[in-house]
Amino acid sequence: MSVYFLMRVRFVIRLMKVLASPIVIDCRFIDCMGTLVNDLREYSIRACPECWRLFCVNCKCLHLGMTCENYQFSRQLNLLYWQHHYGGYHDELEEATLSIKLGSAMENI
């Protein structure tokens, strides 16, 4: 038997397993309605077939060059850093909105 034939048989067996119990994943982006089937390959970073943006099918985030566990750990460290230095969760947009509201309130006094 040729190597090509054995590779095709292996691919068909994997495809049968996926189609027997499909894991359907929705695109993580709000403006996209795309869905894809997790074919259980070794690479977890996939592109949505609708919008072509990349994300990890396991944790729904994009973390190139990191495992899901390392990415989640770095997010926790980042959160702890912001809590330590700024006294809580830091959101630049929320902070800018608050400063605009405070500025307009001070003008009305």
Closest listed residue to residue 40, CA positions, set 11, 69, 68: 11
Return the residue matching tokens 């292996």. 10
Neighbouring C-alpha atoms within 13 Å toward the C-beta of 31: 3
Q: What is the tally of structural domains in the chain?
A: 2
Instruction: Give yes or no: residues 27 and 43 share one domain.
Output: yes
- pLDDT tens-digit series, residues 55-81: 888 888 888 888 888 888 988 888 888
Residues 56, 74, single domain; the answer is no
In a shared domain, residues 16 and 52: yes
Q: Which structural domain range is residue 87 located in? A: 65-109
Residue-wise pLDDT for 30-40, tens only, equals: 898 888 877 77
Among candidate residues 46, 48, 76, the one with its CA nearest the CA of residue 58: 46
